[in-house]
Amino acid sequence: MQNTLKASVAFEGVGLHSGKPARMVLIPAPAGHGIVFKRTDIALGNTVVPARWDLVERSPLCTRLVNGSGVSVSTVEHIMAALAGCGVHNALIEIDGPEVPIVDGSSAPFVRGIMEHGVQRLAAPIMAYEILKPVTVEKDGARATLLPSDRLTIEFHIDFAEAAIGRQSKVLDMRNGSFARELCDSRTFCRQADVETMQANGLALGGKPGENAVVFDGERVESGAGLRHSDEPVRHKMLDALGDLALAGGPILGRYVGERAGHALTNTLLRALFAEPGAVRAVACDAAMTARLPGQGLIWSEIPAEQRRVA
């Protein structure tokens, strides 16, 4: 069955790229509502921004949703991953600024906030997207693929020149709370070489190395109290992939393979998937299918404990 939140939960903080503060409130919503953002700081026009793949604006560094009236919400991927990883299918997200708070750079504060109250079961089956045939997209040496499978598996490979990142690969079956246990506390990262370029382009203005992002500079790592996992970067890429795939509008039953992929390529993959005849179908999940979805089997004690919750 579909889920929503048992109670509203609020978070606040600055956006990673805009540096602008925002308060974000997750509010329970009925079955079939989906995940929908609403900008409460804009008085006029259509301020509702559904979390859907076809509203994603092409931007390489974060996932930004823009509705038909030009109203946007940026950096939605980490809250989308938290909701998907906790098995929350319906929520209204009121936000009074242009960008989701980056908090500690991971999804863990969101997961803790959501699971503190837990999820509420609703009287309607979960609609999932079953992958029926392989779809692949490639750009500039990066590749993203969806393959048929009876569950969501995320496989990721990265390869960076920075010695402290290097090559990292990981595969994870997303059942049994594995998102909360294995991925949710892995933080946003970047290379020192990229920081100045981003800031010159008006991005990463809210970034605080070691506090809400991990910065790699050759063999040097600015990571606060140290990395949370030795392969924290590839885990964060998997977190991003879960959040970006959640923009399909429901859980995906399939195997995602990302090779040096990023937000834009995963969105291109969803666009290719829905454009390809016979590549995907919407299915109402029975009990056995539901048991294989992310969020099933999530245990509070397995959620990493050290995160700061902002509000």
Please say whether the beta carbons of 285 and 125 come within 8 A: yes
Give least dist CB 77 to Zn ion, A: 5
Is the CA virtual torsion 197, 199, 201, 205 positive or negative?
positive
Stretch that binds Zn ion, among 42-50, 187-195, 212-220, 274-282 (CB under 5 A): 187-195
Q: Which of 239/280 has CB closer to Zn ion?
A: 239
Stretch that binds Zn ion, among 18-26, 121-129, 180-188, 283-291 (CB under 5 A): 180-188
**Is 157 known to be catalytic?**
no
Here's the x/- map for Zn ion, 231-270, by CB under 5 A: it reads as ---------x------------------------------
Taking CB under 5 A as the criterion, the residue among 178, 188, 212, 290 binding Zn ion is 188
Question: What's the token pair of residue 48?
Answer: 């509702």
| Residue 33, marked binder | no
Stretch that binds Zn ion, among 26-34, 48-56, 183-191, 211-219 (CB under 5 A): 183-191
Task: Please identify the residue of the shown chain whose CB is closest to the bound Zn ion.
Answer: 240
Q: Please report whether residue 185 would count as binding Zn ion according to CB under 5 A.
A: no
Q: Is 272 left (phi over 0), alpha (psi -120 to 50) or beta?
A: alpha
Name residue, tokens 């006029």: 44
Q: Which of 31/83 has CB closer to Zn ion?
A: 83
Is the CA virtual torsion 16, 17, 22, 25 positive or negative?
negative
| # chain residues binding Zn ion, by CB under 5 A | 2
Closest CA to 305 of 114, 85, 112, 106: 112
| Residue 78, marked binder | yes
Contacts of 132 (CB under 8 A, 6+ apart): 148, 278, 279, 280, 281
Q: Which of 94/244 has CB closer to Zn ion?
A: 244
Give least dist CB 38 to Zn ion, A: 23
Contacts of 275 (CB under 8 A, 6+ apart): none
* Angstrom distance (rounded) from CA 194 to CA 51: 28
* Angstrom distance (rounded) from CA 90 to CA 28: 7
The strand pairing partners of 189, in sequence order, are 214
Stretch that binds Zn ion, among 81-89, 142-150, 188-196, 275-283 (CB under 5 A): 188-196
| Residue 236, marked binder | yes
Please say whether the beta carbons of 179 and 242 come within 8 A: yes
Give least dist CB 20 to Zn ion, A: 18
Measure CA of the first residue to CA of the last residue in the chain; give whole Å. 29
Please say whether the beta carbons of 125 and 233 come within 8 A: no
Give least dist CB 1 to Zn ion, A: 29
Give least dist CB 274 to Zn ion, A: 23
Q: Which of 47/188 has CB closer to Zn ion?
A: 188
Q: Which of 93/238 has CB closer to Zn ion?
A: 238
Active-site annotation, residues = 263
Which residues of this protein are in contact with Zn ion, per CB under 5 A?
188, 240
